[in-house]
């Protein structure tokens, strides 16, 4: 149950699917069902088996929005989802070969309330918007994290992770610039 007016620290996770080529209008309906039955089912299977639990999740179109209580769980889940995507048989599900994910991580206070329109939980605030502005500039197949997220992960003792500084990058929709890091597992090659 969400307590109206509650606010607590959280790790934000945004991902969005990208296509090297968009499905044609005539095959769009088929692509939608391939996405639901293929990719979203793969995400659901990950959600059933992962040890890295989220507090809240929403899907919208081909995007995912998740809230984690622990930054380390957000890191690990992002890397697990990226691994699922790398092993995902796009062709078997009827999705284009260039279908991939961009994953963005940020942390900050999250405001929790009950959505008066849907009656469901609502997790929102300015840091949600910041995370959402990182995702569109993240290269497909990568996990980008804000400098705030990287600092909290490092201070929290997240082990086995590397965050390579990408630079101060202009965010989507004119939301300013932000220091960003590319997240990967320590044993993973940097050129991947």
- What domains appear along the chain, each with residue ranges and CATH number? 6-185 (3.30.70.1230)
The overall average pLDDT reported for the chain is 87
Whole-structure pTM value:
0.88
CA dist., res. 92 & res. 94, Å (int): 6
- The mean pLDDT of 172-176, rounded to a whole number, is 90
Structure-token pair, residue 107: 């942390």
Closest CA to 104 of 192, 42, 16: 16
Structure-token pair, residue 152: 């909290």
- The mean pLDDT of 60-88, rounded to a whole number, is 92
Measured CA distances, 27 to 21, 41, 92, 94 (Å): 12, 20, 16, 10
Work out the pLDDT band at 23, boundaries 50, 70, 90: low
Among the ranges given (12-21, 34-43, 64-73, 143-152), the one the predictor scored with the smallest mean pLDDT? 12-21
Cβ-Cβ contacts under 8 Å for 61 (sequence gap 6 or more): none
pLDDT of residue 24: 62
What does the pLDDT look like over 93-141, one tens digit per residue?
A: 888 888 899 999 999 888 888 999 999 998 888 888 888 999 999 999 9
User: Does pLDDT of 1 surpass 50?
Assistant: no
- The rounded percent of the chain whose pLDDT value lies above 90 is 49
């Amino acid at each position: 149950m969400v307590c109206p007016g509650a606010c607590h620290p959280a790790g934000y996770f945004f991902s969005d699917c990208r296509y090297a080529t968009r499905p044609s209008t005539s095959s769009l309906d088929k692509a939608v069902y391939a996405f639901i039955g293929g990719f979203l089912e793969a995400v659901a299977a990950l959600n059933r088996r992962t040890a890295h639990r989220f507090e809240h999740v929403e899907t919208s179109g081909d995007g995912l929005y998740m809230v984690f209580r622990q930054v380390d769980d957000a890191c690990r889940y992002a890397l697990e989802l990226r691994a699922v995507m790398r092993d995902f048989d796009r062709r078997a599900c009827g999705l284009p070969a260039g279908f991939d994910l961009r994953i963005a991580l940020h942390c900050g206070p999250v405001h929790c309330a009950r959505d008066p329109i849907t009656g469901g939980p609502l997790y929102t605030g300015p840091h949600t918007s910041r995370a959402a502005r990182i995702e569109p500039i993240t290269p497909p197949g990568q996990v980008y994290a804000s400098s705030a997220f990287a600092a909290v992960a490092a201070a929290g003792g997240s082990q086995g992770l590397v965050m390579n500084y990408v630079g101060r990058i202009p965010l989507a929709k004119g939301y300013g610039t932000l220091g960003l890091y590319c997240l990967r597992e320590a044993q993973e090659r940097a050129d991947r």
